[in-house]
Structure 1
Amino acid sequence: MTDPACALRITGLSHRFGSVSALSDVSLTVPRGSFTALLGVNGAGKTTLFSLVTRLYSNVSGSIEVAGHDLRRQPAQAMARLGAVFQSRALDADLTVAQNLAYHAALHGISRRRSRDRIAQVLAQVDLESRANDRVSALSGGQQRRAEIARALVHRPDLLLLDEATVGLDVKSRAEVLALTRRLIAAEGVSALWATHILDEIQPDDDLVILHRGRVLRAGKAAAIAGPAGLTQTFLALTGAAA
């Protein structure tokens, strides 16, 4: 199953909560160095998928491979190649930005000496170097999101998972977080799986996976999926007008 061209490969993944099917036979890939959008309305199964990839839930069917490492057989190696930003805030608001990142670095076995240099690096990448010693609670919503992305980058992952990373942000902050993610892909060579329900966050050249009611309806380049009707009309036709 190992494919060096893939940062993430999911094959035949299903998950249930009791009698409710959250995911059904989901397969998708995230090519290395790509921005892949996972598009779906609320309740489509995006967060469940992310929870399985990050091992918040255990997958009992199908397979998940992160940067060539099978998540079930090589969990430590797979998780070391992964950085995640969830909908809910993950930073300790009472600690400084640098303290939050240092704690994350320690969890990944990075020494204090090495982490200082790495924290300075990633904060510069997200334009927060001047806020390193500020408490997280003093940051704006957009700055907190950028700090969370910096935290996810500290251990140099191959893959970033961003689950509705712009939720709750104003238009300007949303655009800044999205642009930052795209710059990191270009500059750092990381890959990103960007879960969203906002169609205008997707560009024609992006890889796109449409997830609806736990099933993958389409996968490919956004422009090819959109076709002459455009992405909005195609998405509504696939998922139903009520979406």
Structure 2
Amino acid sequence: MTKAKPKIRGYVLPFLFLFLATGQLFAGEIGYVDSRACMLSHPVFQKFDWESRRFFSTISAPVKDFAKESIHLNKLEETATAALKGIEKKIGKAFSDKDGQNAGLWKSRAQLVNELEYIRQRREVLINLQDDENMLPDQALVWCTLEGVEKDLANVYTQIKQQHKVDILMDFAALAPTQHPPEPQMHILCDRRLEAFLDDEKSLNSEEFTAWLANSRHYWQRKLPGVCNNPFKYGAKDYTDVACAIIKSASDIKTADRGEEKIEK
């Protein structure tokens, strides 16, 4: 028994060394890429329908009961319309009383207007799906493939911008599909981390940051399953510039807008 203990220790120590070394290498890779190791367990994928390749709780989400969905939209519309009328009355009263503290009322009004616009667009989706007698969006429909996914992604980016959650930006950016994501250049990813760019505001305007962001996006696209790499028949816009803009805005950095230079695949 006394001789067995040194042998056990001899096996345990190399095992612990290999375990720690492997963990450090993995953590280093994820740290350099600066995104989530368990990306597929991210909450956004819990709202993703793999059969229809659409997001639940979005404008173009799949529908299984048109009547129930229509009733739900009617109730939402009634509630939002009534709330909007009440807010507008309060805004009018604030102006008549010369009360300058009505910024919160205007913010609430904007949210209600956006909700009513969502309901209107959602009804358009239901009409398209009912006309074709499809319970799920058809991939051959341009609206559900190109325009629909762009609106979904725009909503996701808006949420990130509002909540300033820069740490999950790359997870959502990887959802923007391209037909053939190029091989990422790992030396660009490993040179600097996202925190290094954020600490130096001027570096966010550099070509180095643009290259890092593009390669990080391509890295995750190659790790995702094929359904996320190119899930939509007609392709979609490249949202790399949008991701850059959100990082800058979240860091309160003002830069020139590239305007119409976005590339459409």
TM-score by length of 1: 0.28
Pair member with larger Rg: 2
Would you tell me which structure has more helix in proportion to its own residues?
2
Which has the larger strand fraction?
1
